[in-house]
Amino acid sequence: MPSPTAALTRVGQSVWLDNITRGLLDDGTLARYIDEFHVTGLTSNPSIYNAAVKDTSFYDAALADLGRQQRTPEEAFFEIAIEDLARAADLFRPTFDRTGGVDGWVSLEVSPRLAYDTSATLAQATSLHTRAGRPNLFIKIPGTPAGLPAIEEAIFVGVPVNVTLLFTREQYLAAAEAYLRGIERRVEAGLSPRVCSVASLFISRWDGATATLLPPPLVNQLGIAVGEISYQAYRHLLASDRFGRLCNFGAVPQRLLFASTGTKDPHASDCLYIDALAAPNSINTMPEKTLHAFADHGHVSGTLSAGGGLAASTIFAVERAGVDTAALGERLQRDGAEAFVKSWDELLSVIETKSRAVAEAG
């Protein structure tokens, strides 16, 4: 009988890790996850690095050196993040090569302070991808209204993009439209349309925002329902004539990625969003704790439906209970962007403080 993570891969879903620290690289933990838990990629964000820099000594020596070089906190962050993610990308390179570039990716985010600045986002995305020098490194760009033109332009110039901070089906479709326009422009320009991308749909925050607003039968159901209707839209897009024409030129799908899949409710299953969102041709990026839980006692009982299902009736019931899901989705995206800015500012402050402290101590 296959392990739970092997069962996910058998239905066609990639298991990614939503974490990166230098410790995971130095002690061989990430390599072990690849071998034992079938992990085929990873994601990172400012919150992850904020905790890693603040709560561990993994980066002290590097920060002391960068401080002596008088690097700004942002420059120091990108130095250490690019080093980490380049090492991780090399670990995933066999997967990347074996799957023809479909899998085996790592992700580095542009500054969250650029979420509403299209031109600055594009410039930084292009610069970071060039500096990293790895073909299997995504640049994360928020799928905010201002981020969408930057996503299209990044795809057009050949930068692989992980579109982050998507919460609704409509936000996902807008991100998919930006990706398709970028690919179509490449075809018109005589360029290769094979520029990879993923669209990251955040799940658990729906349930955190509605836990006290809904009757018990609907608690912890909205995130899964949004995931299901977004997956249906994704599969419909893949079957469309528009995407079929691009496939004739060699285009590949922008894969749907389920993010924020750690269970927040202590009374719910710690594998809630992994069990419920198993789906072919998709990705689930899991916090480390969730990965361990699923590997230990997770269960794949079925897969998401590409059509039909109970998601629409769940959302209808949520609306009848008084939750405006469209307005909530917009608020979750705004709040998510603001939370990443807060983590980013804290991260830069920690880097500045630590750089000075370890340099003085040395």
Domain edges within the chain: 4-361
Position 46 scores a pLDDT of: 84
pLDDT tens, position by position, for the chain (362 residues)? 789 999 999 999 999 999 999 999 999 999 999 999 999 999 998 888 888 888 888 988 888 888 788 889 999 999 999 999 999 999 999 999 999 999 999 999 999 888 778 889 999 999 999 999 999 999 999 999 989 999 999 999 999 999 999 999 999 999 999 999 999 999 999 999 999 999 999 999 999 999 999 999 999 999 999 999 999 999 999 999 999 999 999 999 999 999 999 999 999 999 999 999 999 999 999 999 999 999 999 999 888 877 767 899 999 999 999 999 999 999 999 999 999 899 899 999 989 888 877 666 65
Question: Cα dist. 316→55, 202, 233, 310 in Å?
Answer: 43, 20, 17, 10
Contact partners, residue 324, CB within 8 Å, separation at least 6: none
pLDDT at 359 (0 to 100): 63
Query: Which pTM was predicted?
Result: 0.95
Q: What is the CA radius of gyration of the chain?
A: 20
Which residue's entry shows tokens 């922008």? 254
Nearest partner of 259 among 202, 175, 199, judged by Cα: 202
List of residues 6+ apart from 264 with CB closer than 8 A: 204, 207, 208
Position 301 scores a pLDDT of 85
pLDDT of 308 reads 63
Give pLDDT, residue 270: 96
CA distances from 217 to 28, 80, 264 (A): 43, 45, 17
* Positions marked active-site: 140
* Interval 116-134: pLDDT, tens: 788 899 999 999 999 999 9
- Per the prediction, the chain carries an average pLDDT of 94
Per-residue pLDDT tens for 276-291?
A: 999 999 999 999 999 9
What's the rounded Cα separation, in Å, for the pair 117 and 150?
9
CATH 3.40.50.300: does it fit domain 4-361?
no
